[in-house]
Chain A
Amino acid sequence: MTTTTQAPAVPAEVVTRTPVQDVALPGGAGTLALVTLDNGKDHTRPNTFGPEGVAGLQATLDGLRARAEAGEIQAVGVTGKPFVFAVGADLSGIPYVTQREQAVEIAQAGHRAFATLMDLPVPTFAFVNGAAMGGGVELALSADYRAVSAGVPAFALPETFLGLLPGWGGCWLLPNLVGPEAALKVVIENPLSQNRMLKAKEVAELGIADVLLEPADFLEDSLRWAAGVLTGAVTVQRAEVDRSPEAWDAACDRAGKVVVAKTAGRAPGALRAVQLVRAARTASREDAFAAEDEALGDLIMSDELRAGLYAFDLVQKRAKRPAGAPDKALARPVTKVGVVGAGLMASQLALLFAQRLGVPVVMTDLDEQRVAKGVGYVHAEVDGLLAKRRLSPDKASFLKGLVTGSTSKDGFADADLVIEAVFEEMAVKQQVFAEVEAVVSAECVLATNTSSLSITEMASGLQHPERVVGLHFFNPVAVMPLLEVIPGERTDEATLATGFAVGKGLKKTCIRSKDSASFVVNRLLGRFMGEYSRVVDEGTPVEVADRAVAGLAPMPPFVLLGLVGPAIALHNSETLHRSFGDRFFVSPTLRRLVEAGKRGYYATDERGRPVPDPEVEALREKPAEPVELSVEAVRERVLGAIAEEVGLMLSEGVVEAPMDIDLAMITGAGFQFWNGGIVPLLDREGVTERVLGRRILPHGVASVPA
C-alpha cells in the first residue's frame, strides 16, 4: 500500500467572495447593486461555493435585502470574475463529510442563500459572463432574468455525471423555466453523454437565458439591457411551457429510459434527478427544495458518489502526472514519425500523430495497394473533418501533406520514432523491427502497439534493445483517452520518457505498465470476459449473466465483444491463458464464432441494435449438465475473479498503484465513475475482503469514511 492512498487532511476552502458595487443604470433606471463572484484566483481556478463562500453570499444578499427594502437600490445583478461565472459547489470537502446531517446542511445552506436572491423585493439579474456549472447555473436560475455572454465556453449541470444531482434548486427551477424536455437534456442527457456542455448559443435557444450578448462589452451591454427591462423598454419573452401532466410525464419517462440505457440504473443521482424533475410540475418551492435536500443527503452519503469524486480526481489530476514516468527532460524531440503497416489501426495512428504532433508521418506496407489504402484513409478522414468545418482548408492541406506512404522503409532514415502496428505475432514484429533498425538512426525510438506481446522479447534481437517501448493505444484511437506505456527490461530512461512525452503530445492519458501479458486493461477485461463466458458456456443464460454485471462496463460483455472483434478477443484470451493458465478461460463458443467468421454474438437490426443471431445460437457450447447460476451467484463469481486478478496485478507490480488500474479501466474500457473504475466497487461490495482478505483502498478514499 502506498501512502498516496491515505486520506489527507481537509483542504482549506478557496472562498468565493461576493463584493458589491452600486451601478448607476443608464436611462435613469435607478441603482443596481452589482455582486461579483470572485475567489481571487485567475481563470484556471474557477469560482466555487464552499461553506464559507455560501455563508458570505447569504450575508451579502441579506444586506441587499435591507437596502432594497429601504429603497436604496432598484435592482440586483450577479456576475463572475473574468471568464468564469461560477462552476458550482466546492466538492473538495465532500470526501470528509461523515454525517448525513452535514450533507443535508450543505444542501440547505445553498437553498437558503439562493432563496434569498429569489425573494429580494427588487428585480434580480444574472449576467453569466463565463463558464457556469452546477451551483453556478442554479444561482443564475435563481435570478429573475438572465443574460449570457456569447463567449461562455461551457454551461452545464454536470452533477449526474458524478453521481450527484442539481440540488441547489436546479431540479425544480429549470423544468419550470424551460419545460421538462429541455431541462432533462441539461440535467440528464448531456451529463450522461461524456458530460457534454452547452455552448452559449444553446443556452439562449433553450430559453435558459433571456438574451445572448457579445463578449466584447458584455457587462456594459447587460447593464443597458437590464435598465431596459426595468424601464419597460425591453420586453422579455419566454416560450410557454407545456404543463400538462401527459407531456411532462412523457418527457420524464423518456429521460428515465436514457438513464437506464446509459447506466443500467446503477448510477445514483440520475434516476433521483428524474424523479425530482417529475415532481417539479406541481411541487411548491419549499417542498421541492426539501426533496433536493434529502436527495443530496442520501447521495453525498453514498459510496457511489464518493467513488465518482475519486474517479473525477483521477482523470483530472492523476491523469496529468503519470505515476512512474521518468523525468520529462530526458525525452527526445520527435520531429518525424514512421508507421509500419497501413491497416486500419496504423492509419488511425498516422492521422493522430499528424494531427496532434504536426510532424511528417511516413506509412509503409508490403505493397502499393495497401499503402494507398492507408494514406487514402487518412486523407478521407481529413476531408471529412474539413466538410464538417472542424478543420480549415489550410489545416487540412497541411495534414494531408504530412502523411505519405511507401513500400520502402528508407523514408524512416530521419524519423525520431517508428511505431509498428502489424500482425500480432512475435516473429513478424521482430522481423519488422530488425528491418527498421537497419534504416534508422541509433537513437530512433522503436515503439510497438502490441496489445499483449512481450516488449522485452520483441527487442531482444536488436542491436539497440534499449530504444524499444510499448505504446498500446485503444480502439478507436481518436476517441479512447488511454495509452499504456510499457518499458521492456532493457528500455532506457530516455526512450521511456520519450514514450510518455509523445503520449502527452497526443493528449492521451498515459499509464505505465509492467511488461507482462496484455498489460493492464486487456488483462483485466480478459479475466472479466473470460469468467463471464465461462459462466455462460456452463449453462447460465446470457440475460441472467448480463443482469449480474450490469453497470460494470459501458455495455453488456457480448455487445462489447462485437465491438472489439471476436478474433482479437480470442487472441487476447489465448495469450492470457498461455501466460497465466486456467484462470483465463478460452471459450469454445468464441473459437467456433471466429472459425465461422462471425462478427460477434449478435446480429444487428436496421437501427444498429444487437439482436439474437440464430447461427450463433447453433455454435454455442451446449454443456451436458448445464449449471444455471443465479444473478447473485454470477456476480460473485465474476467480481471475485476480477478482484483476484487485481490483487495479482498489484502484487506483481503491473501498475504503480491501485488508482492506476481504475484510471486505466475508466479511460481505456469506459468503466464507470460511480464504481470508481473497478477497485472501489470491489471494496464496496466486500469482494476484495472475501477474495484477498483485505480492502484495497482505505475507507474514505473512494467511499464514505468509516
Chain B
Amino acid sequence: MPRELQEVVFVDGVRTPFGKAGEKGMYAQTRADDLVIKCVRELLRRHPELPKERVEEVAIAATTQIGDQGLTLGRMTALLSGLPKSTPGYSIDRMCAGAMTAVTTVSSAIGVGAIDVAVAGGVEHMGRHPMGEGVDPNPRIVAERLVDESALVMGKTAENLHDRFPQLTKERSDAFAVASQRKLAAAYEAGKVQPDLVPVATRHAEKGWGLATADEPPRPGTTLEELAALKTPFRPHGNVTAGNAAGLNDGATACLLASQAAADELGLPVRMRLVAHAFVGVEPEVMGIGPVPATEKALAKAGLTIDDIGLFELNEAFAVQVLSFLDHFGIADDDERVNPWGGAIATGHPLASSGVRLMTQLARHFEEHPEVRYGLTAMCIGIGMGGCVIWENPHHADYRKDA
C-alpha cells in the first residue's frame, strides 16, 4: 500500500506561569509532573470538541528524568491527566529543546500517518532538579579531549561565543536583555501573555496553597546601568551575567498537534502548519550558535530563504547566542519581527519546556499578523546543537497555495 503523508497542524498551546527555581520560588513545593498535567488538562478543557480517546500519543520532555520528572513521564502524564488508558506516552530528552523535539517527533508520527492527534510538551523543575543532577559524564570526554570542559557549563559556552564573535559585546547583550524585559512587560500590560497561561495551585507547607497566575522571573524596568553592575559568574571580567541570560526556572508547557484531516473532522482550530524542521550539531563549546545551521537546514528543506520569514520566536538562553543568530542572518538587534513579546531572558527558561512556549506565542503572533506567511521557532541546545521549526500562517491569503 503506498504511504500517504499527512500535513501536521498546531492546534493550541499553553504553559504554566514560569517560576524562579529554588527554595523561595513559587513552585518550590509543587511537583514537576503536576505542572505539566495542569497544562494537558487545560488543553482538554479548552477543546471539548476533541474526544479524549482520540489523543493517540503524549510526548513529554524533561532534561533530568529523575523522581517526579521520571517514570516514563509522558505515559504518567496521560494517566494522571484523565486521558483514557489506551492513550500511550513517552519521555523525551534533548536538553533545552526537549519540548521542541516532542513536537517534531509526534509531528513526524502524524506526518507518516501513524497517528492523528497528539499532545507534546515539556517540564523542567530546576529547583527540584538542578541542571546536572545525577549526571555521570564519561571520563573519555576528558581523557580524549573530545570537548572542552567548558562545554558542560552553559554560561561558559556563552562566554566562548563572545570570544568567537568579538563584535558581540557585553553592551549589545545587555541592551538586548533590557529590550526583552521591556517587551514582555508591554505584552503583559496589553494582556497578550495571560490567555495561554494555566493557573497552577501552588503547594507550600508553611504558606498554604496559593495560585500562580503570572511569571515570577520578569524584572520589568530593568536598566542598562543595573545590568552593567552585575557580576560575571562564569569568568572574571567576563560578559555573561544573570541579567543577559535566562535564569534557573520551574515550568511546563504543552500543545496539541493534529493531522490536517483530523483537525477538519473534529473541528479543531488550525493555528499553524508545520512546514519543516531541522536539528544540527555544532561544537559543544559554542552550543549557542546551534540555531544558525539548524535554521539554514530547515530553510533549505522548506525551499525558503531567511527573507521569507516574517516572525521569529528565538529562545533567549543567552543574549549573545541570539545576537550571533541575528548577525549571521543580517537582522538588526532590535528588529520588530524578533521576539515581539520578549523572550526567555524575561520569562525564564525551564529547559525542556521552552520550545512549546515559542510555538504558542508564534501562533498568537500569526493571528495578529495575517500579512506574515512564514515564521520560525529556534533554539540552542546544550552539548552543542540547534533546533529550528518553520511554520506557515493559516491566516495568510496564500496559505497552502503551493502545498
- Residues in A lying within 8 Å of B, measured CB to CB: 18-21, 23-24, 26, 34-36, 38, 40, 79, 82, 214, 216-217, 219-220, 223-224
Least CB distance, B47 to chain A, in whole angstroms: 16
- Residues of chain B within 8 A (CB-CB) of A36 are 207-209
Give the top 8 A-B pairs by smallest Cβ distance, nearest first: A36-B208, A19-B208, A219-B201, A21-B210, A23-B211, A36-B209, A217-B41, A24-B213
Least CB distance, A53 to chain B, in whole angstroms: 14
A19 CB contact (under 8 Å) in B38, B198, B200, B206: B206
B82 and A23 contact, CB distance less than 8 A: no
- Residues of chain A within 8 A (CB-CB) of B229 are none
User: Looking across the interface, which residue of chain A has its beta carbon closest to that of B214?
Assistant: A24
A216 and B211 contact, CB distance less than 8 A: no
- Residues of chain B within 8 A (CB-CB) of A224 are 199
Known: A217-B38, A217-B201, A219-B211. 13 other contacts (CB 8 A): A20-B208, A21-B207, A21-B211, A24-B213, A26-B199, A34-B208, A34-B211, A35-B208, A38-B208, A217-B37, A219-B209, A220-B199, A220-B201
B41 and A34 contact, CB distance less than 8 A: no
Interface presence of B135 (CB below 8 A): no
Interface size on B, residues (CB 8 A): 19
Interface presence of B203 (CB below 8 A): yes
- Residues of chain A within 8 A (CB-CB) of B41 are 216-217
Least CB distance, B55 to chain A, in whole angstroms: 15
User: Looking across the interface, which residue of chain B has its beta carbon closest to that of A34?
Assistant: B209
- Residues of chain A within 8 A (CB-CB) of B203 are 82
Given contacts A23-B210, A24-B211, A35-B208, whether A220 and B200 have CB atoms under 8 Å apart is yes
- Residues of chain B within 8 A (CB-CB) of A18 are 208
Interface presence of B187 (CB below 8 A): no
Least CB distance, B314 to chain A, in whole angstroms: 31
- Residues of chain B within 8 A (CB-CB) of A220 are 38, 198-201, 211
In the bound assembly, the distance between CA atoms of A82 and B80 in angstroms comes to 16
Q: Would you give 22 A-B contacts (Cβ < 8 Å), ordered by A? A: A18-B208, A19-B206, A19-B208, A21-B207, A21-B208, A21-B211, A23-B211, A26-B199, A34-B209, A34-B210, A34-B211, A36-B209, A79-B209, A82-B203, A216-B41, A216-B81, A219-B201, A219-B211, A220-B198, A220-B199, A223-B201, A223-B211
User: Looking across the interface, which residue of chain B has its beta carbon closest to that of A77?
Assistant: B209
Interface presence of B403 (CB below 8 A): no
In the bound assembly, the distance between CA atoms of A40 and B207 in angstroms comes to 11
Given contacts A219-B201, A220-B38, A220-B200, whether A21 and B209 have CB atoms under 8 Å apart is yes
- Which residue among B200, B203, B207, B208 has the maximum number of chain A CB atoms within 10 Å of its CB? B208
Interface presence of B1 (CB below 8 A): no
In the bound assembly, the distance between CA atoms of A220 and B203 in angstroms comes to 12
Least CB distance, A597 to chain B, in whole angstroms: 55
Interface presence of B205 (CB below 8 A): yes
In the bound assembly, the distance between CA atoms of A223 and B200 in angstroms comes to 11
CB under 8 Å from chain A, chain B span 117-160: none
User: Looking across the interface, which residue of chain B has its beta carbon closest to that of A217?
Assistant: B41
Least CB distance, B33 to chain A, in whole angstroms: 11
CB under 8 Å from chain A, chain B span 203-246: 203, 205-211, 213
- Residues of chain A within 8 A (CB-CB) of B208 are 18-21, 34-36, 38
- Residues of chain A within 8 A (CB-CB) of B200 are 220
In the bound assembly, the distance between CA atoms of A35 and B209 in angstroms comes to 8
In the bound assembly, the distance between CA atoms of A36 and B205 in angstroms comes to 9
User: Looking across the interface, which residue of chain B has its beta carbon closest to that of A222?
Assistant: B201
In the bound assembly, the distance between CA atoms of A82 and B202 in angstroms comes to 11
In the bound assembly, the distance between CA atoms of A21 and B81 in angstroms comes to 26
User: Looking across the interface, which residue of chain B has its beta carbon closest to that of A37?
Assistant: B208
Given contacts A216-B37, A216-B41, A220-B199, whether A38 and B80 have CB atoms under 8 Å apart is no
CB under 8 Å from chain A, chain B span 167-223: 198-201, 203, 205-211, 213
Least CB distance, B251 to chain A, in whole angstroms: 16
- Residues of chain B within 8 A (CB-CB) of A79 are 209
- Residues of chain B within 8 A (CB-CB) of A35 are 208
- Residues of chain A within 8 A (CB-CB) of B80 are 216
In the bound assembly, the distance between CA atoms of A306 and B51 in angstroms comes to 56
B205 and A38 contact, CB distance less than 8 A: yes
In the bound assembly, the distance between CA atoms of A83 and B257 in angstroms comes to 34
Least CB distance, B213 to chain A, in whole angstroms: 5
- Residues of chain B within 8 A (CB-CB) of A214 are 82
- Residues of chain B within 8 A (CB-CB) of A82 are 203
User: Looking across the interface, which residue of chain B has its beta carbon closest to that of A26?
Assistant: B199
- Residues of chain A within 8 A (CB-CB) of B82 are 214, 216
In the bound assembly, the distance between CA atoms of A267 and B200 in angstroms comes to 47
- Which residue among B41, B199, B205, B213 has the maximum number of chain A CB atoms within 10 Å of its CB? B199
In the bound assembly, the distance between CA atoms of A21 and B204 in angstroms comes to 10
In the bound assembly, the distance between CA atoms of A216 and B37 in angstroms comes to 8
User: Looking across the interface, which residue of chain B has its beta carbon closest to that of A22?
Assistant: B210
Least CB distance, B233 to chain A, in whole angstroms: 33
Least CB distance, A404 to chain B, in whole angstroms: 33
In the bound assembly, the distance between CA atoms of A36 and B209 in angstroms comes to 6
In the bound assembly, the distance between CA atoms of A217 and B82 in angstroms comes to 10
User: Looking across the interface, which residue of chain A has its beta carbon closest to that of B80?
Assistant: A216
In the bound assembly, the distance between CA atoms of A34 and B199 in angstroms comes to 15
Least CB distance, B239 to chain A, in whole angstroms: 38
In the bound assembly, the distance between CA atoms of A23 and B201 in angstroms comes to 10
- Residues of chain B within 8 A (CB-CB) of A34 are 208-211
User: Looking across the interface, which residue of chain A has its beta carbon closest to that of B198?
Assistant: A220
In the bound assembly, the distance between CA atoms of A35 and B203 in angstroms comes to 12
- Which residue among B37, B38, B210, B213 has the maximum number of chain A CB atoms within 10 Å of its CB? B210
- Which residue among B201, B205, B208, B209 has the maximum number of chain A CB atoms within 10 Å of its CB? B209
User: Looking across the interface, which residue of chain B has its beta carbon closest to that of A20?
Assistant: B208
- Which residue among A18, A23, A79, A223 has the maximum number of chain B CB atoms within 10 Å of its CB? A23
In the bound assembly, the distance between CA atoms of A217 and B198 in angstroms comes to 11
Least CB distance, A536 to chain B, in whole angstroms: 61
In the bound assembly, the distance between CA atoms of A220 and B210 in angstroms comes to 10
In the bound assembly, the distance between CA atoms of A82 and B213 in angstroms comes to 20
A223 and B199 contact, CB distance less than 8 A: yes
In the bound assembly, the distance between CA atoms of A34 and B213 in angstroms comes to 14
In the bound assembly, the distance between CA atoms of A24 and B205 in angstroms comes to 20
- Residues of chain B within 8 A (CB-CB) of A24 are 211, 213
In the bound assembly, the distance between CA atoms of A287 and B235 in angstroms comes to 75
User: Looking across the interface, which residue of chain A has its beta carbon closest to that of B194?
Assistant: A26
In the bound assembly, the distance between CA atoms of A224 and B211 in angstroms comes to 11
Interface string of B67-93 (1 = CB under 8 A from A): 000000000000011100000000000
In the bound assembly, the distance between CA atoms of A21 and B29 in angstroms comes to 15
In the bound assembly, the distance between CA atoms of A502 and B311 in angstroms comes to 70
User: Looking across the interface, which residue of chain A has its beta carbon closest to that of B41?
Assistant: A217
Least CB distance, A228 to chain B, in whole angstroms: 14
Least CB distance, B203 to chain A, in whole angstroms: 7
- Which residue among A21, A40, A79 has the maximum number of chain B CB atoms within 10 Å of its CB? A21
- Residues of chain B within 8 A (CB-CB) of A20 are 208
- Residues of chain B within 8 A (CB-CB) of A40 are 205
Least CB distance, A221 to chain B, in whole angstroms: 9
- Residues of chain B within 8 A (CB-CB) of A217 are 37-38, 41, 201
- Residues of chain A within 8 A (CB-CB) of B213 are 24, 26
Least CB distance, A516 to chain B, in whole angstroms: 53
- Residues of chain A within 8 A (CB-CB) of B81 are 216
User: Looking across the interface, which residue of chain A has its beta carbon closest to that of B81?
Assistant: A216
Least CB distance, B44 to chain A, in whole angstroms: 10
Least CB distance, A45 to chain B, in whole angstroms: 13
- Residues of chain A within 8 A (CB-CB) of B211 are 21, 23-24, 34, 219-220, 223
Least CB distance, B225 to chain A, in whole angstroms: 32
- Which residue among A21, A214, A220 has the maximum number of chain B CB atoms within 10 Å of its CB? A220
User: Looking across the interface, which residue of chain B has its beta carbon closest to that of A24?
Assistant: B213
In the bound assembly, the distance between CA atoms of A26 and B197 in angstroms comes to 11
- Residues of chain A within 8 A (CB-CB) of B198 are 220
Least CB distance, B175 to chain A, in whole angstroms: 33
In the bound assembly, the distance between CA atoms of A38 and B200 in angstroms comes to 19
CB under 8 Å from chain A, chain B span 22-63: 37-38, 41
In the bound assembly, the distance between CA atoms of A20 and B207 in angstroms comes to 7
In the bound assembly, the distance between CA atoms of A34 and B207 in angstroms comes to 10
